[in-house]
Chain A
Amino acid sequence: MSRGSGGGYDRHITIFSPEGRLFQVEYAFKAVKASGITSIGVRGKDSVCVVTQKKVPDKLLDQTSVTHLFPITKFLGLLATGMTADARTLVQQARNEAAEFRFRYGYEMPVDVLARWIADKSQVYTQHAYMRPLGVVAMILGIDDENGPRLFKCDPAGHFFGHKATSAGLKEQEAINFLEKKMKNDPAFSYDETVQTAISALQSVLQEDFKPNEIEVGVVRTDSPAFRVLSTEEIDEHLTAISERD
């Protein structure tokens, strides 16, 4: 009796398929796209900005409770693209881990350490059959004491990389193509340029102009390293600047 691929279980739990693939991990990536949201992150010279769509499916819903942007600590933000329930679990665990880190070691958890921790946890779900991978791609942003503004992206497979700019969700590939062109000559964006690049990338890829309450924007800046979600007024200013520029 041959279990595993012979028994066809390679699609149900994270064991190898005959081609050496992990179908459950690949399906998790599909789940991220199925949420229908696209997110973008851009790192500038002294700031990082993340933008995502805010789709409120029902007018009766309290808009303020619909969010994909979560502060993990005062200085670290997390943008979760994909299944909201999985995102909340991840955020809860990340908040706990960051707080314990601060308590244990006496200094704030750096961005890459948190990203590595999230990625390592995701890897465990790809290897142990009792839990499925989370259907979430997490973008983590913060200002590092030694390396300045940092943007990391962690995926269900357990990969994590630092990025100059990146995207996740439904139109991920189109957005990355757009951003590659913009970042080709290693530009050093100012804070306003960073935010406007991120927002205009999203607008271009989704081919629609946003109203301020249709997107969520989160930033960290070297001169104000606390993670902050922009208000609708500030978003409106940037949207106006973008439309005037074009």
Chain B
Amino acid sequence: MGDSQYSFSLTTFSPSGKLVQIEHALTAVGSGQTSLGIKAANGVVIATEKKLPSILVDEASVQKIQVLTPNIGVVYSGMGPDSRVLVRKSRKQAEQYHRLYKESIPVTQLVRETAAVMQEFTQSGSGRPMLGWLQTILDFNGNCGVRPFGVSLLVAGFDDNGPQLYQVDPSGSYFSWKASAMGKNVSNAKTFLEKRYTDDMELDDAVHTAILTLKEGYMHLKLLFF
């Protein structure tokens, strides 16, 4: 945040106390392709729709589910380019942790640090209003006006505390879930998951359920239009 007295973040409070840029970011997430995660008794599964804009796209060049460490993976809903930034930062943080402690990073720590990055982008920056135009300037530290990330992440990992599933939102808040969905059709997906989820599910069951849930969303859309 800048030195100037009138330095503002681009994400500022509305009179009703809301951060509208974050709400808009969540809208962007809500119109992204569906993704979901399920925590089983002996593992975690994350899955997503991979609908490509054309058959001409080389399907092998697209990978929406990414590895952060050998035992932590992530999937997103929302803006792909934004997710790449977070994946890169998270991988680096995991590596730095390992360098310092000679241990692989626990899931909760990585989630917390990733969430902190996302929160930063909702608060930092120097947008300066001037004569009705929003003038954005670089402050001494090279920080400038930034917008929140347009992605929600589902982080799946397995460490000493067993299987874990976390969802991180553009605001930087994160929660642990037994099962969760994001993106389009999220309410149908969550209803379906609520019905099907059991605490003692095995990983194979969870994978099966994940695929069924995605199919359900897809079929539901088809029924709506035909």
Verify if B39 is at the interface (C-beta below 8 Å from A).
no
B81→A122 contact, CB < 8 A: yes
Verify if B85 is at the interface (C-beta below 8 Å from A).
yes
Partner among B12, B57, B149 whose Cβ is within 8 Å of the Cβ of A4: B12
Verify if B221 is at the interface (C-beta below 8 Å from A).
no
- A12-20, A53-61, A72-80, A238-246: which one contacts chain B? A12-20
Residues of A within 8 A of B141 (CB): none
Q: Contact mask A1-37 → B, CB, 8 Å, 1/0?
A: 1111111010011111111111000000000000000
A129→B136 contact, CB < 8 A: yes
For A179, the closest partner residue in chain B by CB is B56
A128→B145 contact, CB < 8 A: yes
Verify if A126 is at the interface (C-beta below 8 Å from B).
yes
B134→A3 contact, CB < 8 A: yes
B56→A15 contact, CB < 8 A: no
Decide yes or no: A3 and B127 within 8 Å by CB, A9-B134, A16-B21, A164-B58 being known contacts.
yes
Partner among A2, A126, A163 whose Cβ is within 8 Å of the Cβ of B81: A126
Verify if B25 is at the interface (C-beta below 8 Å from A).
yes
Q: Which of B117-170 contact A (CB under 8 A)?
A: 121, 125, 127, 129, 133-134, 136-138, 144-150
B85→A123 contact, CB < 8 A: yes
The answer for the CA separation of A96 and B11 in the assembled complex, in Å, is 35
Verify if A67 is at the interface (C-beta below 8 Å from B).
no
Verify if B115 is at the interface (C-beta below 8 Å from A).
no
Q: Contact mask B40-73 → A, CB, 8 Å, 1/0?
A: 0000000000001111111011100000000000
A20→B136 contact, CB < 8 A: no
Verify if A216 is at the interface (C-beta below 8 Å from B).
no
B26→A20 contact, CB < 8 A: yes
Residues of B within 8 A of A104 (CB): none
A163→B56 contact, CB < 8 A: yes
A-B contact count (CB 8 A): 141
A163→B20 contact, CB < 8 A: no
A residues contacting the other copy or chain, number (CB 8 A): 47
B24→A5 contact, CB < 8 A: yes
Residues of A within 8 A of B88 (CB): 120
Q: Which of B73-91 contact A (CB under 8 A)?
A: 79-82, 84-85, 88
Most buried by A among B8, B13, B29, B61: B61
For A8, the closest partner residue in chain B by CB is B134
Residues of A within 8 A of B33 (CB): none
For B145, the closest partner residue in chain A by CB is A129
B54→A176 contact, CB < 8 A: yes
Residues of A within 8 A of B21 (CB): 4-5, 15-16
| CB proximity of A127 to chain B, nearest CB, Å | 6
19 A-B pairs besides A127-B121, A162-B60 with CB distance below 8 A are A2-B12, A2-B13, A5-B21, A13-B136, A16-B25, A16-B148, A19-B27, A20-B26, A20-B29, A127-B147, A128-B144, A129-B146, A157-B81, A159-B81, A161-B58, A161-B61, A163-B57, A166-B56, A183-B56
* 30 contacts across the A-B interface (CB closer than 8 A): A2-B14, A2-B20, A3-B10, A4-B11, A4-B21, A5-B21, A7-B134, A12-B133, A13-B136, A15-B10, A15-B145, A16-B27, A16-B28, A16-B150, A20-B26, A20-B30, A116-B84, A119-B84, A120-B88, A127-B82, A127-B121, A127-B146, A129-B136, A129-B146, A158-B82, A161-B53, A161-B58, A161-B62, A163-B58, A164-B58
The chain B residues found within 8 Å of chain A, CB to CB, are 8, 10-15, 20-21, 24-31, 52-58, 60-62, 79-82, 84-85, 88, 121, 125, 127, 129, 133-134, 136-138, 144-150
